[in-house]
């Protein structure tokens, strides 16, 4: 999983990253945003599992990956912290942790209009 430490977006742009799932082992992803209010909107969405064949046994268990999507709303800067941990293990370090500095700038006048 290659998550950059810094990204720059123009207002209206989106950035996404795929996060590996371990829900079958009790792990969940969470995202915290610190910094200027209203700069980004962040959503975590599970990727639908693959379709199972009509015949045969279902798998004993499996986990689905998640996608984090950052939508640039207004100029400013925030720090996004993504952590994967078990909810009942608050006193332990997360299994995975990614910190991304996000800078949002106004769209350049010469850039074509981007759809949100």
Per the structure, the count of domains in the chain is: 1
In a domain, residue 112? The reply is: no
Whether 75 is in a domain gets the answer yes
CATH number assigned to the domain comprising residue 39: 2.60.40.2020
Please report whether residue 111 resides in a domain. no
- Domain assignment present for 65: yes
Instruction: Classify burial at 1, counting beta carbons within 10 Å of its beta carbon; exposed 0-12, middle 13-18, buried 19 or more.
Output: exposed
- pLDDT tens digit string along 6-47? 999 999 999 999 998 887 788 889 999 999 999 999 999 988
Per-residue pLDDT tens over the stretch 56-112: 666 656 678 899 999 999 999 999 999 999 989 888 998 999 999 999 999 887 756
What's the predicted TM-score (pTM) here? 0.80
> Does 81 reside within a domain?
yes
- Which domain covers residue 43, as residue numbers? 6-49+60-104
Q: Is residue 113 part of a domain?
A: no
Mind spelling out the 3-state secondary structure of the chain? CCCCCEEEEECCCEEEEEECCCHHHCEEEEEEEEECCCCEEEEEEECCCCCCCCCCCCCCCCCCCEEEEEEECCCEEEEEEEEEEECCCCCCCCCEEEEEEEEEECCCCCCCCCCC
CB of 39 closer than 8 Å to CB of 77: yes
Residue 64 domain-assigned (yes or no)? yes
């Amino acid at each position: 999983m290659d998550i950059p430490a810094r990204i720059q977006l123009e207002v209206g742009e989106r950035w996404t990253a795929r996060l590996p799932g371990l829900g079958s082992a009790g792990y969940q992803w969470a995202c915290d945003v610190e910094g200027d209010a209203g700069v980004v909107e962040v959503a975590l969405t599970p990727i639908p599992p693959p379709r199972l064949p009509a015949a045969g046994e279902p798998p004993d268990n499996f986990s689905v990956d998640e996608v984090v999507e950052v939508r640039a709303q207004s100029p400013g800067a925030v720090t996004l912290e993504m952590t994967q941990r078990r909810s009942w293990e608050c006193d332990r370090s997360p299994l995975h942790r990614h910190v991304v500095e996000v800078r949002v700038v106004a769209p350049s006048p010469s850039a074509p209009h981007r759809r949100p």
